[in-house]
Chain A
Amino acid sequence: MSELNLTPNIDGADDFYAELLAAHEPLSKEDSDALNARLILVLANHIGDRGVLSAAIEAAKPKA
């Protein structure tokens, strides 16, 4: 089982971020929420590893 990678891992981080925003750009709030939800599921399936997924959910929770 691999560990959740929380160090920088995306080549061209600015490009990725712009692409993510662009995908949302034409969408209503409702459609945007739906896109996010689909994206999470697609990424989660790609990761697959249950331990990593749990660690990711934990890492994303609001910090006190």
Chain B
Amino acid sequence: MNKIFEVPLYRYERSADQDASVPVRHPVVVIGAGPIGLAAAIDLAQSDIPVVILDDNDKVSFGSRAICFAKRPLEILDRLGCGHEMVEKGVEWDVGKVFFDDREVYRFDLLPEDGHEFPAFINLQQYYFEEYLVNRVRELQGQGAPIEIRGKNRVEAIGSHDDHVRLEIETPEGPYTMEADWLIACDGAGSPTRRMLGLDFVGRVFEDNFLIADVIMEANFPSERWFWFDPPFNKGQSALLHKQPDDVWRIDFQLGWDIDKDEELKPENIDRRLKAMLGEDVQYELEWSSIYTFQCRRMEKFRHGRVLFAGDAAHQVSPFGARGANSGLQDTDNLIWKLKLVMEGKAPEALLETYDSERIHGADENILNSTRSTDFITPKSEMSRILRDAVLDLSEHYDFARPLVNSGRLSVPCTYDGSPLNSADALEGGPSRTRPGSPCPDVPLGDDYLLPQLANRFTLLTIDADAPDEFEEDGIKVERLALSVTDDKTLALKQRYLGTADSAVYLIRPDQHVAARRDIWNETLFRAALRRATAKE
């Protein structure tokens, strides 16, 4: 068997830095070649900012881990040049079924809204996800972009200074030192960077264990998310079945707290569970299994001077709701354009403080949602179980109870309400979903889509409104994208961006979030909005 997660993808190679007499200084170093570190580095390299990724390993994530990726991260990946590969390989789904005891209590359809380039969700093994990101790194390297991955480079010590960071790195050929103007720590939930800098990571630990088995089998189950509360084959606990590409199925059994992990992981015991769930004659091959416990916690601040934390290193959530990797990608989406402007001297460091405030807002939302899901799935008291079971019983017979069933509130992007970068909403009748702070929803534009046209720079989106084709404020250029509802056959543009207004002008950030909007162009006000969106006022 030669699984992708068993093959080295970025082998150790000696770097000239290891032979330098004086430590070499790099503009940006990223620690961790997980999904988040790779995304951060690709984003930087696409902007021609030289970046080095260090990872203590040389392979993609072992086993599958994350499987469920949401629309917003796919849109971000598209901006990074590898969204379509993920969708082509991934399994799309939008139906879920909920079972309670021995019966199906209801099914839901996510009813994804039309007129988006990317689906609501895909399932894809994390190793493919990382492999495609590594492929994208290789492609950028082929085009001469300044990006490098150093496998088997383990960061052992970090010295944090006012204007740089010093790293002690261990390799198969011994240690070396290097420096970075900026360090992005994407070194996972156990973040050694956090530990080395003596930073806290507080939150709630859930006293429960889950067994994950990814099995390869030819089964006729549809590509739906099936969730069981208290099923006969796992009494008093929960279970999940979800399809991944290549006939791989994710099966997740809640085990409870007092268990013998080694015993549970024995193939014969996994086999017993699988047969109880899927029938005695099930044929399968076990691809990967593990037992995990989980936490919901975050760092108090994601920025510590020249060190910026992102992904699981900064915050950790329970897997219910698929908010881990999905939210980590939103971290770097938020961070990289800000860092770039600061590095180019076009924005003050205060802009990086808003990485902190905006993404902490996002992390808190994710932690709140996944904590609530966890409390529903694994009730912690007798009364919480009684109420939970009452909801499930009622949901079989009455619609009203179904919104209360919580088997994971799946990842949706965060709106940065109240961010200091937003200007007050000045579009009367404008839809709430595109108020300042919101991630822009996609819209079909003939054969194309809106989002790819909003990427990587500030954009002035005008809908049936006049404005200059471009303007510059204090070194930052804004280009106009002029649209009209007369070309809007599906009415999606009107519904998502105009509401009852006749015209609109939007200032959109490089991460495709709305910074400001009003009905008509006003030079003074939009210049002020741009200054505000870059932390200059």
B:185-241 near A, CB below 8 Å: none
Q: Give the dominant DSSP class at B's interface.
A: helix
Residues of B within 8 Å of A45, CB to CB, are 400-401
Chain A contact surface mostly: helix
Minimum C-beta distance from A15 to chain B (A): 25
Which residues in A have their C-beta under 8 angstroms from that of B400?
42, 45
A41 close to B394 (CB less than 8 A): yes
Contact B404 A41 (CB under 8 A): yes
B391 lies within 8 A of A41 (CB): yes
In the complex, per-residue mask of A25-50: 1 if CB is within 8 Å of any chain B CB, else 0: 00000000110011011100100000
- Chain A, interface size category, equals under 10
Tell me whether B386 and A42 are in contact (CB under 8 A).
no
Closest B residue, CB atoms, query A37: B390
A34 to B386, CA, bound (A): 6
Distance in angstroms between the alpha carbons of A51 and B267 in the assembled complex: 52
What's the Cα separation between A42 and B399 when bound, in Å?
11
A33 → chain B, closest Cβ, in Å?
5
What separation, in Å, do the CA atoms of A38 and B391 have in the docked complex? 7
B7 interface residue (CB < 8 Å to A):
no
Q: Digitize B394-421: 1 where CB-to-A-CB distance is under 8 Å, 0 elsewhere.
A: 1000101100100000000000000000
Asked if B389 is at the interface (CB within 8 A of a chain A CB), the reply is: yes
Tell me whether A34 and B394 are in contact (CB under 8 A). no
Which residues of B are found within 8 Å of A41, using beta-carbon distances?
Answer: 387, 390-391, 394, 401, 404
Give min CB distance, B451 to chain A, whole Å: 35
Residues of A within 8 A of B390 (CB): 34, 37-38, 40-41
User: In the complex the two chains form, what is the Cα distance from A60 to B386 in whole Å?
Assistant: 18
Q: Could you list 23 examples of A-B contacts with CB < 8 Å?
A: A33-B386, A34-B386, A34-B389, A34-B390, A34-B393, A37-B386, A37-B387, A37-B389, A37-B390, A38-B390, A38-B393, A40-B387, A40-B390, A41-B387, A41-B390, A41-B391, A41-B394, A41-B401, A41-B404, A42-B394, A42-B398, A45-B400, A45-B401
Going nearest first, the 7 A-B pairs with the smallest beta carbon separation are A37-B390, A45-B400, A38-B390, A37-B386, A37-B387, A33-B386, A41-B390
Q: Which residues of B contact A (CB under 8 A)?
A: 386-387, 389-391, 393-394, 398, 400-401, 404
